[in-house]
């Protein structure tokens, strides 16, 4: 390696590390604040990671601010959405992929793609009025039911993957007398496990981080999700940034753990979605 290209490498590493610090620093800062006693957050110069560490901030947020309950609520909603999302998107995607000789089914798919252009701002209020009319406000129904009817972006991704699988499995099994439902569930679906995992993970993220829907529909405090509780806490814990940061840290940790174990699925899914255009 020549001298200049060695120098380039060093410069490159320095830049990479600086960017990495920029990306991580706010989280480290939040962790530091979350371990402080009260009244230290805006001290100059900053008092970061200095004992005594106030682990009690975490017990405060979990019990006094009821975050244990909100975690449970969020997990429940997330699980219901993940189950619904995996089954419905896989089933619908299979229909669109393997019955594309039907003009009607193809047209339906194209209509579905067009709905992506309708901004959610336009759907938010009419949807709320409908849920209010059927008396489903302050329940988890508005947050979960739609997951059982497919979402076009996941359908698109899954359809693409089924399309890449040969039709011959279908035909062979069909001649042997298997019904199409069995063929989908037992033959095709296991073959696209990686993309199903990606969809599951993305739904997990989406629901875990979701604020808009809980904010619209949930009013009773005991039904709050973590994100809703986090949004409300700046009012509840005024002047206690360390409590708020403890909340932020425990909200982020599950996401980071899932992300670390499933980095490939995440990034793979993103890149696969990029072929759309």
Partner 1 sequence: MLKRDRKWGWLFVSPYILGLLMFFLVPVVTSFYYSFTEYNMISAPKWVGLKNYIDVFTEPDILEAYRNTFAFVIAYLPIEIFLSCVLAVALNQKMKSIALFRGIYFVPVVAPMVAVVAIWVMLYNPFGGIFNQFFGLFGMGPFKYVFSDKWYVIIICIAVLCIWKGVGSQAIYLLAALQGVSEDIYEAADIDGAGTVTRFFKITMPMLSPTIFYLVMTEMIGTFNSFEIFKMMTQEGADLPVIATYVYSAAFGTTAKIGIATAIGWVTFVIVGLLTIAQKKAEKRWVYYE
Residue 208 C-beta: closest distance to partner 1, Å: 7
**Which is closer to partner 1, CB of 55 or CB of 261?**
261
- Enumerate residues 56-85 that contact partner 1 by CB under 8 A: none
What is the torsional sign of CA 21, 25, 31, 33? positive
Q: Is 19 in the site for partner 1 (CB under 8 A)?
A: yes
Q: Is 24 in the site for partner 1 (CB under 8 A)?
A: yes
Among 16, 49, 53, 55, binds partner 1 (CB under 8 A): 16
- Two tokens at 1? 């390696």
Rounded CA separation 77/185 (Å): 25
What is the torsional sign of CA 155, 158, 164, 165? negative
Q: Is 143 in the site for partner 1 (CB under 8 A)?
A: no
- Enumerate residues 28-57 that contact partner 1 by CB under 8 A: 29-30, 33, 41-46
Residue 30: CB atoms within 10 A of its CB come to 18
**Which is closer to partner 1, CB of 20 or CB of 76?**
20
Are 261 and 197 spatial neighbours (Cβ–Cβ below 8 Å)? no
Among 35, 150, 188, 199, binds partner 1 (CB under 8 A): 150
**Which is closer to partner 1, CB of 56 or CB of 219?**
219
What is the torsional sign of CA 8, 14, 19, 20? positive
Query: Side-chain half-sphere of 237: how many Cα atoms within 13 Å?
Result: 23
- Enumerate residues 213-242 that contact partner 1 by CB under 8 A: 215-216, 227, 230-231, 233-235, 241
Residue 82 C-beta: closest distance to partner 1, Å: 16
Residue 259: CB atoms within 10 A of its CB come to 15
**Which is closer to partner 1, CB of 101 or CB of 222?**
101
Please choose, out of 49-57, 62-70, 110-118, 190-198, the segment that lies near partner 1 by the rule CB under 8 A: 110-118
Rounded CA separation 56/77 (Å): 28
Rounded CA separation 173/201 (Å): 31
Applying CB under 8 A, the site for partner 1 has a residue count of: 97
Residue 157 DSSP class:
H
Rounded CA separation 239/216 (Å): 27
Please choose, out of 50-58, 63-71, 187-195, 261-269, the segment that lies near partner 1 by the rule CB under 8 A: 261-269
Q: Please give the C-alpha separations between residue 23 and each of 12, 20, 30, in angstroms, as whole numbers.
A: 17, 5, 13
What would the x/- binding string for partner 1 be over residues 174 to 193, using CB under 8 A? xx---xxx--x---------
Residue 15 C-beta: closest distance to partner 1, Å: 7
Please choose, out of 50-58, 60-68, 192-200, 254-262, the segment that lies near partner 1 by the rule CB under 8 A: 254-262
């Amino acid at each position: 390696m020549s001298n200049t290209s060695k120098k380039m490498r060093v410069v490159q590493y320095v830049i990479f590390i600086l960017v990495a610090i920029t990306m991580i620093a706010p989280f480290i800062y939040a962790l530091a604040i979350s371990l402080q006693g009260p009244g230290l957050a805006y001290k100059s110069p900053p008092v970061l990671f200095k004992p005594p560490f106030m682990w009690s901030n975490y017990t405060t947020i979990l019990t006094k601010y009821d975050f244990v309950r909100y975690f449970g609520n969020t997990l429940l909603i997330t699980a219901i959405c993940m189950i619904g999302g995996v089954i419905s998107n896989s089933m619908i995607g299979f229909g669109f992929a393997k019955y594309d000789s039907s003009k009607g089914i193809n047209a339906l798919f194209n209509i579905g793609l067009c709905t992506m252009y309708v901004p959610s701002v336009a759907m938010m209020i009419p949807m709320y009025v409908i849920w209010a009319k059927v008396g489903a406000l302050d329940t988890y129904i508005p947050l979960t039911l739609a997951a059982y009817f497919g979402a076009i972006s996941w359908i698109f991704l899954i359809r693409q993957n089924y399309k890449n699988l040969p039709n011959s499995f279908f035909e062979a099994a069909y001649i042997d007398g298997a019904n199409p439902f069995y063929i989908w569930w037992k033959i095709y679906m296991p073959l696209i496990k990686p993309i199903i995992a990606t969809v599951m993970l993305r739904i997990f993220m989406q629901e875990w981080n979701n604020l808009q829907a809980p904010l619209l529909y949930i009013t009773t405090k005991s039904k709050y999700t973590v994100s809703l509780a986090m949004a409300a806490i700046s009012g509840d814990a005024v002047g206690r940034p360390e409590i708020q940061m403890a909340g932020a840290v425990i909200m982020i940790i599950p996401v980071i753990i899932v992300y670390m174990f499933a980095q490939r699925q995440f990034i793979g899914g993103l890149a696969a979605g990029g072929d759309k255009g």
